[in-house]
Amino acid sequence: MRFTLFPILALAGSSTAAQLILSTYNGSVTSLSLEETAGRLELTELKKVRDCGGSPSWLELDPQSKTLLCIDEAWSTPMGAITSYKVGAAGEMTKLKNATNNLSGVTSHIFGKGKAVAVSNFGGAPAANLSGSITTFTLNSADGDLKLLENVTLTMDNPTAPTGETAGRQNVTRAHQVITDPTGQFLVVVDFGADKIRWFGMDANNHFRSNGSVTLDRNTGPRHGIFWSPDKTYTPTSKLFYFVVSELKNTITSFAVTYVDGGMKFEKKGVISTFGPDPTPKTAAASEIQLSPDNKFIVVANRLDGIWRIQNPDPTNSTLIVSDSLSTFMPKDDGSLTFFQNVPAGGENPRHFSINKKGDRVAVALQANARVVILEREIACGSIKGALASMKTDTLPNMVIWNEE
Q: Summarize pLDDT for 209-246 with one digit per residue, the tens.
A: 999 999 999 999 999 999 999 999 999 999 999 999 99
Q: How high is the pLDDT of residue 118? A: 98
CA-closest candidate to residue 350, choices 382, 318, 314, 374? 374
| Under 8 Å between Cβ of 245 and 288 | yes
Q: How high is the pLDDT of residue 7? A: 61
What total of structural domains would you count in the chain? 1
- What are residue 182's phi and psi, to 5 degrees? -65, -20
Helix (H, G, I), strand (E, B) or coil at 87: strand
Mean pLDDT of the chain: 94
pLDDT category of residue 201 using cuts at 50, 70 and 90: very high
| More confident position, 314 or 276 | 276
Q: What's the pLDDT tens digit per position in 32-86?
A: 999 998 888 999 999 999 999 999 999 999 999 999 999 999 987 889 999 999 9
Q: What's the pLDDT tens digit per position in 134-178?
A: 999 999 999 999 999 999 999 998 666 566 666 678 989 999 999
Mean pLDDT within 99-110 = 97
CATH code (residue 357): 2.130.10.10
What span, in angstroms and rounded, lies between the C-alpha atoms of 273 and 245?
9
**181, 229, 330, 364 from 234: Cα distances, Å:** 10, 6, 18, 28
Domain that holds residue 33: 2-403
Q: How high is the pLDDT of residue 132? A: 95
Residue 12: is its pLDDT beyond 80?
no
Mean pLDDT within 88-113 = 97
| Under 8 Å between Cβ of 333 and 239 | yes
Residue 5: is its pLDDT beyond 70?
no
Q: How high is the pLDDT of residue 75? A: 85
Mean pLDDT within 306-314 = 95
Mean pLDDT within 261-286 = 97
Residue 361: is its pLDDT beyond 80?
yes
* Strand boundaries in 102-181, DSSP class E: 105-111, 116-121, 133-139, 146-153, 175-180
Q: How high is the pLDDT of residue 169? A: 84
